[in-house]
Amino acid sequence: MRVLLVRPPSVLGRMSRQNLQHPTNILGLASELNARGHEATILDLEVAPPPPGMSSTDVLLAEIDASDVEVVGVSVVTPHVPAARLLLGAARRHRPSLLLLAGGPHATALPGDLLSEIPALDAVCLGEGDEALPELLDAVAAGRSPTDVVGWMFAEEGSTGAREPLADLDVLAPPDRRLLDWAAYIRLGGFKGVASPGIVRSGIHAAQVHLSRGCYARCVFCSTNSVWGERARPGIRRRSLEHVLTEIDELIDTWHVNHLNFEDDIFPPTLAYLDRLCQALAVRPVTWSCNARVDGLRREHFEAMAASGCLKIDFGVESGSDRILELNQKLVTRDRVESVFEDSRRAGILRTAYLMLGSHIDERPEEVEQTWNLARAIEPDYITFTLACPYPGTQLWKDCREHGYLELRSGGRPDWKRYGYYPGLPPWRFHHFTPSEMVAVQKRFLRRFYWSPGFAWRMLRRVRSPEQLRALLEAGRDVTGFIGGRHVGAEG
């Protein structure tokens, strides 16, 4: 069958350039579909702005006609719900015979609600779609009932139940990056193509690679477990290193990528895996960065990572309060955070601290100050300071809903478009913070860090070319525009 997989436009405005990535989720699905005999293409509306006088909906309809597609699938994270509703509704009116599907974190967490909210939908995928989507299309193409395929909730026939998580990730088709419009990412994201925040060396050309799926932790603000499901416990499924290296070598040889972003929920999958990965990367012409927790790595690991080309690690810290860290089930302590940041600094690796207000609903103002004090103590090269978002499927969502902290619209649903880490005025609150107070604290925190003379001096010392300076200035304008801008909306 002819299939078009769609990522809706970003809701982040200019800040989307600082978070831009290839849509590896739908890329993997399209690659798998093509390997199984279907004809799948990708439309990434995050990097495909409509021509003058047209909308994103017009772009979608034009692509439907150009490719004569039979199936449209939309990847739905929570803030994409309104856009998905518009896109799918227009597709249904334009070509009523289309099979319209949705998947992704929000679809998995609230499948019945999404089917009700988007009447144009035929079905919602529950969890991973790597096997569920090809099997559904195989059934439709063969004239069999799709309601026999496990892993779906249908608009009319109900749910066929969740399927077992895929145990062997190596059986999946490799990502076919010919499906991506590489030039579009460069136009929007600058010379790097996709985001590698904080790495501005000249000539960088980046892509992201995933080593595993799942997580062993149960952080109350994280939607990972709602996507992969309790059925995936103990939590981490790894690709073989050989499988990963084949993908990396193709990125180097075919796409001239020289920097990799490893963006797993858990990095590394195991310490033995890390050792073998570092040995392999040390003999390849790439540098790399990664996300990591702070509960598994030690100085010797950081030294091996640096020697193999690791330039930066983004650490999930969240809070400087041991009480909040325990309540949000981070499985780390403040002392451990300080130790890890010192060890990675000594290894010469740049470090980002991911910090958060409201990672637990009961966080207090004095505990946010503890987070700031921790940030000063660990001296990160970069920080993010986001507002914890109560995404559907998380414990934080359940807690906010139980306390009546979710602002609802006239139809009884939240304003999903504002559900993100940079929401303007958030349509939720916590025990000790109103929406306005959250935004005020967030911007004060970011101003303290990014508007300090010391930060500007550290950045300028790293500049080695006009290209780097332009990238730094563009990022600075985006961040400054956010910090200095006025939030909009109304408190509930």
pLDDT of residue 488: 38
pLDDT of residue 492: 30
pLDDT of residue 468: 67
The answer to whether the beta carbons of residues 44 and 7 sit under 8 Å apart is yes
The answer for residues whose C-beta is within 8 angstroms of residue 406's C-beta and 6 or more apart is 390, 400, 414, 427, 428, 492
Class of domain 171-484: alpha beta
Name the residue ranges covered by the structural domains of the chain. 2-159, 171-484
Query: What stretches in the chain show pLDDT beneath 50?
Result: 231-233, 487-492
What is the full DSSP assignment across 123-189? EEE-S--TTHHHHHHHHHHTT--GGGSSSEEETTTEE--PPPPPS-GGGSPPP-GGGS-HHHHHHHH
pLDDT of residue 233: 46
Phi, psi of 227 (to 5 degrees): -80, -55
Looking at domain 2-159, which CATH architecture does it have?
3-Layer(aba) Sandwich (3.40)
The token pair that represents 337 in the structure block: 């955070």
The answer for residues whose C-beta is within 8 angstroms of residue 288's C-beta and 6 or more apart is 259, 260, 261, 262, 281, 308, 309, 310, 311
Beta-bridged to residue 42, according to DSSP, are 5
Of all helices (H) and strands (E), which one includes residue 369? helix 365-378
The answer to whether the beta carbons of residues 444 and 451 sit under 8 Å apart is no
What is the full DSSP assignment across 272-323? HHHHHHHHHHHTSS-EEEEEE-SSS--HHHHHHHHHTTEEEEEEEEE-S-HH
pLDDT of residue 164: 87
**If you search the block for the tokens 């501005």, which residue do you land on?**
200
pLDDT of residue 467: 67
Terminal alpha carbon distance of the chain: 46
What is the full DSSP assignment across 47-60? T-PPPTT--HHHHH
The token pair that represents 282 in the structure block: 């040390």
Q: Do 171-484 and 2-159 have the same topology in CATH?
A: no
Cα distance between residue 367 and residue 324, in whole Å: 8
pLDDT of residue 487: 44
